[in-house]
Amino acid sequence: MSRRRMAVKRPIVPDWKYNSVLVTRFVNCLMLEGKKSKAEAIFYGAMDLIEKKMKEDPLEVFLQAIQNTKPMLEVKSRRVGGATYQVPVEVSTDRGTALAIRWILSSARGKKGVPMGAALVSEIQDAYKKQGAVIKKKEDTHKMAEANRAFAHYRW
């Protein structure tokens, strides 16, 4: 972190198809080795599959899936004296969105033997229905924060 001044946050341009900044953030996180066109093809292909399978607006499904996976609390390590405590802290909206995107993508990448588009579809559908690995990750994060509620007074 800079000691002089806060870094300027650059504005994110909305994507061309859905005109959504969140979609652009998702595609940027999906992108590997600078291949944005490939990441866009995977994402938009997954959205088309969601539309065919669920017969609903794919953008609404995607937005609801992200909303369902956003954590409200997380734990951060705080060193007090000689001990390190896991202190529960509230998650900002930007960080919650970033965590939700990261969890969905890591879970989709973890499915071996399945094309990325299909894995992405299944993860987004599971998150939309409030089930699956990503929702379990969110619940585990909340349980950890709840278990360490006694150390909340160490918050900084």
Enter the pTM of the model.
Answer: 0.89
Ramachandran sector of residue 20 (left: φ over 0; alpha: ψ -120 to 50; beta: rest): beta
- pLDDT digit string (tens) for 14-36? 999 999 999 999 999 999 999 99
Mean pLDDT value across residues 136-152: 89
Mean pLDDT value across residues 39-49: 95
Q: Is residue 38 part of a domain?
A: no
Q: Is the pLDDT of residue 149 over 90?
A: no
Instruction: Enter the DSSP assignment of 132.
Output: S
Q: Is residue 128 part of a domain?
A: yes
- pLDDT digit string (tens) for 81-140? 888 888 888 999 999 999 999 999 999 999 999 999 999 999 999 999 999 999 999 999
**Strand 83-90 relative to strand 73-80, pairing:** antiparallel
pLDDT at 85: 82
Mean pLDDT value across residues 42-60: 94
Cβ proximity of 50 and 61 under 8 Å: yes
- The CATH number given to whatever domain includes residue 136 is 1.10.455.10
Q: Is residue 45 part of a domain?
A: no
Q: Is residue 10 part of a domain?
A: no
- pLDDT digit string (tens) for 53-89? 999 999 999 999 999 999 999 988 888 888 888 888 8
Total domains, the chain: 1
Q: Is residue 25 part of a domain?
A: no
